[in-house]
Amino acid sequence: MPWPLNVEKYGEFDQHNDWGFVYSSVPPEASSSYEIDDIEGQIPADLSGAYYKAGPGNFEREGRRYAHVLDGDGFVAAFHFGNGKARYTGRFVETEYFVRESLEDKIKYRNVFGTQRSGSILKNAFDLVLKNVANTNVVKWGGRLFALWEAGRPYELDPDTLETLKQADDGPYEGLGTDARIRGITVDHGGQIDKLMGVGRAFTAHPHILDDDTMVAFKAATSVTDKKSCLEFLEYNNKWEVKKAVEYSFDVGPPPHDFSISENYYCFFENPFGAMDNVPYLFGVKAPTQIMQLLLRRPAILHLVPRHSFAKAMTVEVAPYFNIHNVPEAIERNGKLYLYSNGWDLNDRRFFPDSKDSVPFLGSWGGLYPDFINGVVPPSFLYETVVDLQSKTTVRHKEVAPGVVMEFPVSDPNNAEIVYCTVAATDYTSLPGTGLCKMNVKTSEVECWWAENKIFTHEITPVSKLNGEAGSWLLTLFYDSGKKRASLAIFDSEKFQEGPVCRMHLKHHLSYGLHGSFSSCLN
């Protein structure tokens, strides 16, 4: 059934056959390697390195569909560039969970978003081991490539072949507890009790690279003794050595999904979740996210964690808001902090009615694929949050470009005030992304480019040009449900609305992904 919308502007597509298709498992030929020869336009000659993209790639076992798309098994695609050519490589992340389930073709583990082992409830009761799907992000740093999932440990991959490597105990693994069966829990902060119980910290799926010698990440766990969420922010050099470590804790609640970094602070939103009733989870009836409730009348809390000893931690409140992703770089200027993020307006009565004080978290985003036609997925907007650092108050929290429905914001590496994102609509309509957007957060100027019918758009990865020209190359995947294939498109940031300078068409489709990154030949 097509969406009743502005077909001329946004296209016309069927929710199940088109939008649903992009959440189908990758075909066998996606797990291969070949030189891409179906190319429209020309690959920029100065583009040298590798673009990596992660996402769920398999959604079923034993003839049964997973309960939620985010329970899908992690798949990584790589595009290696050099001498004006591109080579594709794709491979599943071979976690111990994936290997065992693949060999037996059975769902052997519980999942965060609702997938349970087959059989009676008793098979899931009191089993707190959750499958690490390694499907959220893929980042190369210090010559090493890692597939990430925020509730677990990283998996190291060969940067060229994407083969899953044997786990080490250094770099991002250090301090996680190598034998931990349950992540995100601590009793004595990595001591003997944690080791005895097989619990340990988790590594974020959203590390951010600040420059050639600084990557910022955090490790997280909930303390069962003092009921606090415990974070450790870490700054690594390009040898995976810790340059700086800052510990921070706040009253118990889920750790942040994403964060931003300013000159003096690590910045993250504490979303307004209610206290969780863990009994259905413990007894195997529900998954962790199925017991989470969004509190519609409670403000979100922005935490500013000092990067340096002379700064002080502070928290400020913003209007009811559910934060999804952050623009990595926050800006400090004239005593104020400017942070850009996207999320849901919990005061939007179309999706969060006055008659309710709370709603189930997954009631807004669940199922085989996000359901837009029945009006259950709230639109996501880009917000500017300004904090006065002297008075420790919120100056404003508002949409940068009212009505622009968007996701996956990322800033230009050469200008933090230019943000790129996928765009779904410009009139508050909640839809999948079928366009791309370039937004000046200072002036609110918006440039949009719309794809052809039945093509869905995704996260942009900017790469600085090396040819002496101004601007960046913008890499992004297209998911073409009409031709049943994926394509990698490259835009010129300075000629954004002219469309791609190059499209590389794959021989197969890829499942709708999550996050990606680019690594130059020097990294």
User: What are the residues whose beta carbons fall under 8 Å from the beta carbon of 443, sequence distance 6 or more?
Assistant: none
Q: Is 325 annotated as a binding residue?
A: yes
Runs of H (alpha helix) within 298-445: none
b vs e for 497-513, b when ≥16 Cβ sit within 10 Å of the residue's Cβ?
eeebbbbbbbebbbbbb
Say how far apart CA 7 and CA 1 lie, in whole Å. 13
180 contacts 203 by C-beta, under 8 angstroms: no
Residue 515 annotated as part of some ligand binding site: yes
Q: What is the token pair recorded at 491?
A: 């835009």
Amino acid 358 reads: S
Residue 317 in tokens: 């409140």
| Cα distances (Å, whole numbers) of residue 480 to 340, 416, 451, 455, 496 | 30, 31, 10, 4, 20
Strands 137-141 and 85-92: unpaired
3 state SS of 21: helix
Cβ neighbours of residue 171 under 8 Å, at least 6 residues apart?
142, 144, 236, 240
Query: How many CA atoms does the CB half-sphere of 421 hold within 13 Å?
Result: 31
Q: In what order do the strands lie in the sheet with 137-141?
A: 137-141, 144-148, 155-157
Residue 458 burial (10 A CB sphere; 0-12, 13-18, 19+): buried
The upper half-sphere exposure of residue 195, i.e. CA atoms within 13 Å in the direction of its Cβ, equals 6
Q: Is 68 annotated as a binding residue?
A: no
Q: Compute CA 258 distance to the chain's CA centroid, rounded to the nearest angstrom.
A: 8
Write out the two tokens for 433: 């992304």
Which residues are known binding-site members?
Answer: 206, 257, 325, 515
Which residues are known binding-site members for Fe cation?
Answer: 206, 257, 325, 515
